Structure 1
Amino acid sequence: MPILTVKVSQPASPSLNKAISEMLLERTTRILRKKRELTAIVIDYVPPENWIVGGATLAAQGKNSFYFDIKVVDGTNTKDEKAQYIAECFEAFGELLGPLHEESYIYVQEVSADAYGFGGATQEFRYIRSKS
């Protein structure tokens, strides 16, 4: 836990997979205090000619973009942590992808502990079990 779903406007590349996943793992563990060994990342690549912002493709604009969401249990991170995470991830994606379109998005999605889990158990169940 958590899971990150990432989309980038680049051709698929094993080296970019590694760079994106390492960058996100570092920030997710350092800023949001999530366990590296429980963090899952899925990366999808979208051709820049298929990514449209303001009616024009990124290819036509000469820009790159990304979108990712991360699901975390509600109440486990502060507003300051989420703001720092978004700022640092945006900056790092700019370094990885080149000129970024401002319309690149990060969504820290807070989900209820009783409706989110892995391995067949909710996070709320894991919390309660850890207290007994």
Structure 2
Amino acid sequence: MPLIAITYASQRRSPSLKKEIADTITDLTARILRKDPKVTAVIVSEADAANWFAGGASLAEQGLASYWIDVHVSDGTNTKDEKAAYLAAVFARMAELIGPLHNETYLHVDEVKADAYGLSQERRYVAAQLGASPQRSAA
């Protein structure tokens, strides 16, 4: 955890842009939200700016970029101030990477129960306390 899904639309093209976005978001998530990059998964998808509409016109028509970032973290592991700092840092860095951003650009930090997914944070926590490996069960 966390799982981060990023969809962006931009006029900028670069073979390395998706990797730069993934690396940037992983780094900011580690530094500001204190999430271990070794257990962070990032999915980056590009949308055509001509197919992304905000304020009644496409981003291509407006010459702007946008993103939707959905970050899943364990409930109660981050403060309101940390989340606010994260939102601001991501907005600033993404503007540098993909271009001037439309006001309708979003990042959502979903706080989910620690025992509600995959190899849970609860299992990792208990394993760490016991000095054991948090392996998946066959059940």
Common fold by TM > 0.5: yes
**Superposition misfits of 4+ residues, deviation over 6 angstroms:** none
Q: Aligned with 2:16: secondary structure?
A: helix
How many residues were matched structurally? 129
Query: Matched residues, percent identical?
Result: 47
Greater C-alpha Rg: 2
Structure 1 gap ranges (5+): none
> Aligned partners of 2:64 and 2:13: how far apart in 1?
17
Q: Please, what is the CA RMSD of the aligned residues?
A: 1.5
Residue 7 in structure 1 maps to residue 11 in structure 2: no
Residue 38 in structure 1 maps to residue 43 in structure 2: no
Q: Which piece of structure 1 moves more, 105-114 or 13-22?
A: 13-22
> Aligned partners of 2:97 and 2:126: how far apart in 1?
40
Deviation at 1:12, TM superposition (A): 6.7
Structure 2 gap ranges (5+): 131-139
Amino acid at match of 1:31: I
In the superposition, relative to structure 1, how do residues 74 and 12 fare at CA in structure 2: closer, same or farther (>3 Å)? farther
Deviation at 1:124, TM superposition (A): 1.9
> Aligned partners of 1:12 and 1:128: how far apart in 2?
44
Q: What does residue 56 of structure 2 align with?
A: 55
> Aligned partners of 1:13 and 1:39: how far apart in 2?
24
Question: TM-score scaled to structure 2, two decimals?
Answer: 0.86
